[in-house]
């Protein structure tokens, strides 16, 4: 997407990282049908767990439901990973409600009601997001790429200033060596890059200010 292209080392590092999807499903009920002492329902599927007649295959990649605190209303939050997380971005909310209800009834053996509202995230389909989590893949291990390689600034000569300055600096959750895939990791990489920009500005200030 960059014109001119990023340096090969940087674009190769980006290619090496993985980026995959997870989908959250919010089920809102008329009333709380779970017990006060329950916090959620984690589903343990065996390899040969049968799919009930009419049950969608994506359900087997559903890992469980958390019970949201009561100030959110009567809401269960379901988690789906892997390829199924992409499938459920494309099916109707009514279908998701029916499928989740089948799964809950199957695992809990209770008369679980249908939710009155369903909302699911669609990060994979969102052109500005395209997924949920970046991760260090086998390709990173093979090529010895580490997250902080992404912090390497792209330096270019600014003809107007006759200076070499960083013109592209990446930051974000993929670029932190130890706190990758977290908000605080993303934040710290932003701080690291901001500190570098300040350093350049301090060093080059006289030349930069004399031009503007
Ligand atoms: C389901 C889920 C649960 C999570 N739970 C936790 C948790 O409990 N604790 C935790 O620490 N972390 C958690 N994370 C991870 C955390 O949310 C991310 O690591 C963090 O938000 C990443 O920040 P970022 O700035 O790197 O990227 P983002 O927050 O993704 O910011 C990138 C921004 O760039 C925008 N963008 C993309 N392309 C363009 C473009 N071409 N032009 C303009 N804008 C563009 C995007 O819309 C987005 O707003 C969770 C993530 C997910 C998906």
Domains along the chain? 18-120 (3.90.660.10), 148-211 (no CATH)
Ligand 1 centroid distance, CA of 30 (Å): 32
Ligand 1 contact, 161 CB (< 6 A): no
For the chain, the straight-line distance linking the first and the last C-alpha, in angstroms and rounded, comes to: 30
Residue with tokens 């600096």: 169
Give the angle subtended at the CA of 196 by the CAs of 183 and 134, to the nearest 5°: 30
Give the model's pLDDT for residue 150.
96
pTM: 0.83
Give the model's pLDDT for residue 126.
96
Ligand 1 centroid distance, CA of 51 (Å): 34
Q: Which residues of 113-136 are buried (b: 16+ CB within 10 A; e: fewer)?
A: eebeebebbebbeeeeeebbbbeb
Ligand 1 contact, 186 CB (< 6 A): yes
Ligand 1 contact, 170 CB (< 6 A): no
Strands (E), the chain: 18-20, 23-28, 40-42, 62-67, 75-80, 117-120, 133-135, 154-158, 163-168
Ligand 1 contact, 129 CB (< 6 A): yes
DSSP 8-state secondary structure symbol assigned to residue 67: E
Give the model's pLDDT for residue 63.
94
Q: Is 165 helix (H, G, I), strand (E, B) or coil?
A: strand
Give the model's pLDDT for residue 60.
86
Task: Give me the sign of the Cα torsion angle 54, 58, 61, 63.
Answer: negative
Q: Are 116 and 97 in contact (CB under 8 A)?
A: no
Give the model's pLDDT for residue 14.
93
Q: Distance between CA 195 and CA 179 in Å, rounded?
A: 19
Give the model's pLDDT for residue 159.
81
Ligand 1 centroid distance, CA of 209 (Å): 35
Distance of CA 14 to the CA centre of its chain: 16
Ligand 1 contact, 149 CB (< 6 A): no
Residues of the chain below pLDDT 50: none
Nearest CA residue ID for atom 41, ligand 1 = 128
Ligand 1 contact, 184 CB (< 6 A): yes
Give the model's pLDDT for residue 114.
98
Helices marked H in 26-89? 82-87
């Amino acid at each position: 997407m960059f014109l001119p292209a990023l340096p090969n080392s940087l674009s190769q590092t980006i290619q090496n990282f993985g980026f995959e999807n997870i989908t959250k499903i919010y089920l809102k009920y008329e009333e709380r049908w779970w017990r006060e002492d329950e916090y959620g329902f984690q589903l343990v599927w065996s390899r040969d767990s049968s799919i009930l007649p009419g049950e969608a295959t994506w359900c087997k990649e559903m890992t469980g439901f958390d019970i949201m605190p009561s100030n959110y209303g009567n809401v269960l939050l379901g988690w789906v990973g892997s390829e199924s997380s992409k499938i459920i971005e494309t099916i109707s909310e009514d279908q998701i409600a029916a499928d989740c209800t089948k799964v809950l009834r199957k695992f809990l053996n209770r008369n679980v009601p249908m939710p009155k509202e369903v909302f699911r995230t669609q990060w994979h389909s969102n052109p500005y997001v395209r997924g949920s989590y970046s991760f260090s893949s086998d390709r990173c291990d093979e090529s010895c790429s580490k997250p902080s390689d992404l912090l390497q600034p792209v330096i270019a000569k600014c003809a107007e200033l006759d200076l070499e300055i960083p013109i592209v600096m990446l930051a974000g959750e993929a670029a932190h060596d130890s706190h990758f895939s977290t908000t605080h990791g993303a934040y710290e990489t932003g701080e690291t890059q901001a500190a570098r920009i300040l350093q350049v500005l301090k060093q080059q200030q006289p030349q930069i200010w004399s031009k503007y």
